[in-house]
Chain A
Amino acid sequence: MTINPADLEALWITLKLAAISTALLLLVTPPLAWWLAHSRARWRPVVEALVALPLILPPTVLGFYLLLLFSPLYLPGQWIQALTGTTLAFSFSGLVVGSMIYSLPFVVQPLQSSFATLGRGELEAAATLGMNKWKRFHYVVFPMTRHSFVLAGMLGFAHTLGEFGVVLMIGGNIPGETQVIAIALFEHVEALDYASAHLLAGGLLLISLVLLLFIYVGMDRRKRAWGYW
């Protein structure tokens, strides 16, 4: 029983997609998480609800809206086409956009809760020492919340690995471009190729389990070391 090249390619695409989407999310979302943790604006709950939406929305609904958003028949899609010369549907970049929305709450929420528990004292001390916003983030906030960045990254990565509905809707199942492991697996099952399906499913199960073990073992150690997460 050996894994066939197409499945290997799907596995590679999946890992690449999860890595790129997670990295981008970790770069883009900290300001949002910070704002959610500290803002007193009246519409903060609205933004919070929007961020949490991908948790409960069926991924196919998300995918369907993205399909309409990417469509060159409507304005947003036309802008994308004018800017990039191509459409986002059925492309790897489109999947990255979709995955970032799909995994957004998994990255934002751990960051938000650790930002919220951060003491004001250290930040105020840093400010009196004349540090600007960026320096305060670099020397105070990040070192104190590093663990939550690791957790957010792992959760985002793990969640994107299992992405299915969104990719089914906007991916177009192109081998080497948008065929991720979950789609390849679904196709094997529907085509009754159970041997390949078992191989892929087993592999995905193992990767996910190992990743989650990393997350929980890491959490455990931290609790023992400092008494809090």
Chain B
Amino acid sequence: MRILLPLLLLLGLPVQAATLKVAVAANFKSTLEQVVAAWEAQTGNRVQISAGATGALYTKILHGAPYDLFLAADDLRPAQLVAQGLASEETLSDYAVGVLAFWNPGGLADETTLTHWSSRLAMANPRTAPYGAAAEQAAQHLDILSKLKGKVVRGNNILHTFQYVQSGNAPAGLVSLAQLKAAGIPPQQYWLIPPQWHGSLTQQGVVLNRSAHPEEAGALLEFLLAQNELLSQAGYNIPDDH
């Protein structure tokens, strides 16, 4: 009994801690994992991360996917969820600003190289992934889209796009700076696309109304908003209002 009692007490513990389900845009997954590790250690709550294209996650949420927190790669879908009454307006906040980069592992990475690019180029799908839309706008800005017709290979999301280049199947691609940093890619292999060439890559997060643990989900979002240093190390710009 003397041994059993503490064990029984331990069994009771997990009841107090919540398990949160977070839907996160594919590009932010590795960064979120770091943030979550710290938060779990601090609060004892558990977090399950589901990563995917923002558009795909949004569709799932519309159809009742059981997530507590949605961290999108854009600032459209979370607001749409609020408008549809599926997410709480007061928690809607910008948590990071993404940076698009031209990654050319086999050669020079600069504006001239990209402007004269004539082989395959990997991008995310502009219809479903915000980084894909930004990549397409950047390509339009350089007026290289018509030249690259049939040569643009589109990953379903930005992780997928990164894989195309990493596996060597596409010689170069437009990916996110955060991925390059997470994979330890040397800076001479990539060039940061000027942000004015494309629409905003502001990433918004929001707590979903169907969450069973709205307080914990809100707390996790607040915790994330305070991680400026971690975010900039991970390859994100910090939103203006932080």
Contact = CB atoms under 8 A, between A and B. Distances in A.
Interface in B171-201: none
Contact of A72 (B55, B59, B153, B168): B168
Interface stretch (B17-25, B27-35, B121-129, B234-242): B121-129
A189 B125 CA distance: 13
B167 A174 contact: no
Contact of A189 (B59, B154, B164, B170): B59
B108 to A, nearest CB: 19
B81 interface: no
Interface string A50-75: 00000000000000000110111110
A172 B164 contact: yes
Given A172-B153, A173-B153, A192-B55, A187 B125 contact: yes
Interface string A171-184: 01110110000000
Contact of B59 (A70, A87, A168, A192): A192
B170 A90 contact: yes
B152 interface: yes
A77 interface: yes
Nearest to B58: A192
A173 B168 contact: no
Interface string A139-170: 00000000000000000000000000000101
Interface string B99-138: 0000000000000000000001010010110000000000
Given A71-B168, A71-B169, A172-B164, A190 B56 contact: yes
Q: How big is the A interface, by class?
A: 20 to 34
A89 B55 contact: no
A129 interface: no
A172 B168 contact: no
B120 A90 contact: yes
A192 B128 CA distance: 9
A111 to B, nearest CB: 33
Contacts of B53: 190
B150 A177 contact: yes
A191 interface: yes
Contacts of A77: 168
Contact of A172 (B58, B59, B155): B155
A190 B168 contact: no
Interface in B33-84: 53, 55-56, 58-59
26 contacts: A67-B164, A67-B167, A67-B169, A68-B167, A70-B169, A71-B167, A71-B169, A72-B168, A73-B168, A87-B169, A89-B169, A90-B120, A168-B156, A170-B169, A172-B155, A172-B164, A173-B125, A174-B150, A186-B156, A187-B128, A189-B59, A190-B53, A190-B56, A190-B59, A190-B128, A191-B127
Interface of B: 53, 55-56, 58-59, 120, 122, 125, 127-128, 150, 152-156, 163-164, 167-170
Given A77-B168, A174-B150, 13 more contacts: A67-B163, A89-B169, A90-B120, A90-B153, A90-B169, A168-B156, A172-B170, A173-B155, A173-B156, A174-B152, A189-B59, A190-B53, A190-B127
Interface of A: 67-68, 70-74, 77, 87, 89-90, 168, 170, 172-174, 176-177, 186-187, 189-192
